[in-house]
Structure 1
């Protein structure tokens, strides 16, 4: 099994686990669509979508597999802080695949 397949499998399991944990905790605040602090609601959905975008971007990049795993774990364990750290400190432009053209000889 290649390392990319293994990382993809781990990422898929982490995404499925995060979907299971994103359900609202309390049933008392059903009329409050924001549900701060319960892991659900509109804010939780937006953060989940942004985290999935980061996972896809990291896995499609040309980073070494260990760096991909570390970034995915940081974003999974700390969704908001990891998301902000990734966009501020990851040097995304240098790891984009196909970001530039090669000159022809």
Structure 2
């Protein structure tokens, strides 16, 4: 499946990662005030993740050209906090939303 050179290169990269940690410092340092911080960061991070996923779903379901969809998805991926705000302010969502017109008249 892989060529032998690629396999050896991959093994060398993984070996380099294992030796990247400093060997002399055998103490593990952690934050001492973890219980005082609370869960605010986790809740805020989860809210940002949910907003990003909602923007991605709305962008993918829109009628934009694929290049514009890719641009919005990359923008939201690279700027997870500011990206959804930029999308909701500047994207002209009503023009590209196929469900914005409500029900379609049959007769």
Change (3 A) 1:43 1:27: farther
1:81 equivalent to 2:82? Answer yes
Q: TM-score, normalised by structure 2?
A: 0.61
| Structure 1 portions without partners, runs of 5+ | 1-25, 36-40
Q: TM-score, normalised by structure 1?
A: 0.62
The structure whose Rg is larger is 2
| Structure 2 portions without partners, runs of 5+ | 1-28
The number of aligned residues is 75
SS in 2 for 1:52: helix
Q: Distance in 2 between matches of 1:82 and 1:61?
A: 17
- Runs of 4+ in structure 1 deviating by more than 3 angstroms, as ranges, are 101-105
1:69 equivalent to 2:73? Answer no
Output one character per residue of 1:71-92: Cα deviation in whole Å (capped at 9) or x when no partner.
Answer: 0000000011111100000000
Please report the RMSD computed on the Cα atoms of aligned residues, expressed in angstroms.
2.1
Change (3 A) 1:45 1:77: same
